[in-house]
Amino acid sequence: MRKLMMAAAMALPMFGGAAMAQETLKIGYIDPLSGGGASVGEVGLKTFQFLAEEVNAKGGIQGKKVEIVPLDNKTNPQESLIQAQKAIDAGVRFLTQGNGSSVAGALSDFVTKYNERNPGKEVLYFNYAAVDPVLTNAKCSFWHFRWDANSDIKMEALTNYMKTVPAIKNVYLINQDYSFGESVRTTAKAMLAAKRPDIKIVGDELHPLLKITDFAPYIAKIKASGADTVVTGNWGQDFALLLKASADAGLKVNWYTYYAGGTGGPTAIKQANLNHQVFQVGEGIPNLDHPSSQEFEKAIRAKYDFSLFYPRAVNEMRMLAAAADKAKSIDPVKVAQALEGMEFEVFDGGKGVMRKDDHQFFQPIYISSLGERTEKEPFDEEKTGWGWKLVAKIDTPATELPTTCKMDRP
């Protein structure tokens, strides 16, 4: 596949001619680059810039150099729409965004309406990290493509693993009080009840988003409930502080998480000394026995001081290139049509598919735990010395969930 891409990329400039090669394919990157969410947004931006360099080194997409246009949305949906409008004025036809389902919902809505009102000037929206299931269900759109597994898919994979662990008896759910936390909590309850009816849900907590400075009261509650396992969708400081408080109180449980690998997460795990007690569900980890992705990991670590947190971004960029090649055009409508149902060898190996029904990408999902490394785990995280270890791999078919999407196609 990749050889084909490279051949196509090298052959195309000859047909395109000099004038066309001058133009660039602009991708508008809309994420927080200032304020509280900026630490996450900047990692994403650098990842995409790195990927753009990779694509450009191979001759670009359809002979055009890829340029990432950073647009600061200050984690605010309204601001994102202004930035999207600005990007479109500047000639951007592809938008990508990931942080915050509220922003994603607003953008998907905006792009759909914009394309309806401005035929011939269509814009595509590539979502690399917003996981609200509604975006590929009730509110799905032809113009929206999602490369991250949505939170239901992740929970499906996670519970498929959890049902095989007999030690899990009492589960405590603690989540942030907003749409994502709510969906983690409801699907966890439903899926665990169906797959392991003997597991007791001993607690179900929602706490305010990013407002808690001391989790000690919540930890006291978890402790009092007698839980042996905690499932949480917490990210950022809500995750780090939760672990910190649990270490202070000496709480001994296993943690099943979505975002333990986010910025500050591994540091918090190491500080709390939770050796292989924190599990994460995701589409890839650095320490997989897959040479090409390990090469990539080495390259990105050499350039920046972070590890690849978004293997899905790699899939996104490579699939964009492949779809453009397949459509022999960078026209957004044709690229969208080419992407529908496209099968692709994903970054960490294995088959992925962009489902036509709802534009959700399905890929192998990995359960991993953070802790001391052996020779099989060459990479550590955040200079802690600890690294991710593969615990289980859930193959693509076992992650597929039905969708309620009824898509309007142009």
Partner 1 sequence: MLELIVISTLNGVLFGMLLFLMASGLTVIFSMLGVLNFAHASFYMLGAFFGFQISRWLGFWPALLIAPLLAGAIGAGVERYGLRRVHRNGHVAELLFTFGLAFVIEEVVQIIWGKSPVDFRVPALLDFPAFTIFSTNYPAYKMFMLLVSIAIFIGLLIVLKKTRIGLIVQAALTHPHMVGHLGHNVGRIFMLVFGVGTALAAVAGVIAGPALVTQSNMAGLLGPILFVVVVVGGLGSLPGAFVASLLIGLVQTFAVSMNGSLSGAFGPLSPAYASTWLADIWGVTVAQIAPIMPYVLLVLILILRPMGLLGTRDT
Partner 2 sequence: MSEITVSAAPPLPAAAEKFKFYGLWLAAAIVLLLLPRIFGSGGSLTTFSLIGISIIFSLSYNILLGQTGMLSFGHAVYYGLGGFLVIHAINILSANKLPIPLPVVPLIGGLTGLAFAALLGWVSTQRSGTAFAMISLGVAELIASSALILRTFFGGEAGISANRTKLLKLFGWNFGPQIQIYYLVAAWTLIAVIAMYALTRTPLGRMCNAVRDNPERVQFVGYNPHVVRYLAFCFSGFFAGIAGALAAINFEIANSAYLGAVQSGTVLFATYIGGIGFFIGPIVGAIFVTFLSLGLSDLTQVWQLYFGLIFIAVVLFAPGGITGLLMMHRPLLKAGTLSRMLPSYAIALLPTLAMIAGGILSLETIVHYTVNPGDDSHIKAFGVSFDAASPYIWAMAAILLIGGYLVARKTWTWVGHAWDDATSVAREKGIAP
The two structure tokens encoding residue 131? 């996981």
- Annotate 219-265 with three-state secondary structure: HHHHHHHCCCEEEECCCCHHHHHHHHHHHHHCCCCEEEECCCCCCCH
Which one, of 287, 283, 181, lies nearest residue 234 by Cα? Answer: 181
The CB-based long-range contact list for 107-114 (8 Å cut-off, 24+ gap) reads 107/30, 107/77, 107/80, 107/81, 108/135, 108/139, 108/141, 108/143, 108/144, 109/139, 109/141, 110/81, 110/84, 111/84, 111/141, 111/143, 111/144, 112/141, 112/142, 112/143, 112/144, 114/84, 114/88
Contact in structure between 69 and 96 (CB atoms under 8 Å): no
Q: Which of 44, 63, 105, 387 is the binder for partner 2 (CB under 8 A)?
A: 105
Residue 182 in the binding site for partner 1 (CB under 8 A): no
| Span near partner 2 by CB under 8 A; candidates 173-181, 220-228, 287-295, 326-334 | 173-181
Contact in structure between 315 and 48 (CB atoms under 8 Å): no
Helix locations, 58-128, DSSP H? 77-89, 101-117
Residue 106 in the binding site for partner 2 (CB under 8 A): yes
When CB distances are held under 5 to 8 angstroms depending on the partner's kind, the choice from partner 2, partner 1, none that residue 406 binds is: none
What is the footprint of partner 1 within residues 256-275 (CB under 8 A)? 263-264, 267, 271
Q: How far is the CB of 79 from partner 1 (least distance, A)?
A: 17
Residue 208 in the binding site for partner 1 (CB under 8 A): yes
Q: Which of 4, 90, 190, 220 is the binder for partner 1 (CB under 8 A)?
A: 220
Residue 72 in the binding site for partner 2 (CB under 8 A): yes
Size of the site for partner 1 (CB under 8 A): 32
Residue 102: half-sphere exposure toward Cβ, Cα within 13 Å: 11
Residue number, 198 or 305, with CB nearest to partner 2: 305
The two structure tokens encoding residue 73? 């949305």
Residue number, 29 or 218, with CB nearest to partner 1: 218
Residue number, 208 or 410, with CB nearest to partner 1: 208
What separation in angstroms does the CA of 235 have from each of 265, 268, 278? Answer: 8, 12, 13
Residue number, 38 or 391, with CB nearest to partner 1: 38
Residue 174 in the binding site for partner 2 (CB under 8 A): no
Residue 131 in the binding site for partner 2 (CB under 8 A): no
Q: How far is the CB of 382 from partner 1 (least distance, A)?
A: 9
Rounded to an integer, what is the distance from CA 9 to the centroid of its chain? Answer: 27
Contact in structure between 199 and 117 (CB atoms under 8 Å): no
The two structure tokens encoding residue 205? 């907590």
When CB distances are held under 5 to 8 angstroms depending on the partner's kind, the choice from partner 1, partner 2, none that residue 393 binds is: none
Q: How far is the CB of 255 from partner 2 (least distance, A)?
A: 24
SS3 content of the chain, % helix, strand, coil (to 5): 45, 20, 35
Q: How far is the CB of 49 from partner 1 (least distance, A)?
A: 18
Q: Which of 165, 209, 249, 353 is the binder for partner 2 (CB under 8 A)?
A: 209
Q: How far is the CB of 342 from partner 2 (least distance, A)?
A: 28
Q: Strand pairing partners for 231?
A: 173, 256
| Span near partner 1 by CB under 8 A; candidates 19-27, 32-40, 84-92, 123-131 | 32-40
Residue number, 211 or 303, with CB nearest to partner 1: 211
Residue number, 309 or 362, with CB nearest to partner 2: 309
Distance, in Å, from the CA atom of 297 to the CA atom of 308, rounded to the nearest integer, reads 6
When CB distances are held under 5 to 8 angstroms depending on the partner's kind, the choice from partner 1, partner 2, none that residue 137 binds is: none
Q: Which of 22, 85, 271, 292 is the binder for partner 2 (CB under 8 A)?
A: 85
Q: Strand pairing partners for 127?
A: 97, 146
Contact in structure between 174 and 242 (CB atoms under 8 Å): yes
What mask, x for binding partner 2 by CB under 8 A, covers residues 325 to 364?
----------------------------------------
Q: Which residues bind partner 1 (CB under 8 A)?
A: 36, 38-39, 42, 177, 205-208, 210-214, 216-218, 220-221, 223-224, 237, 240-241, 244, 248-250, 263-264, 267, 271
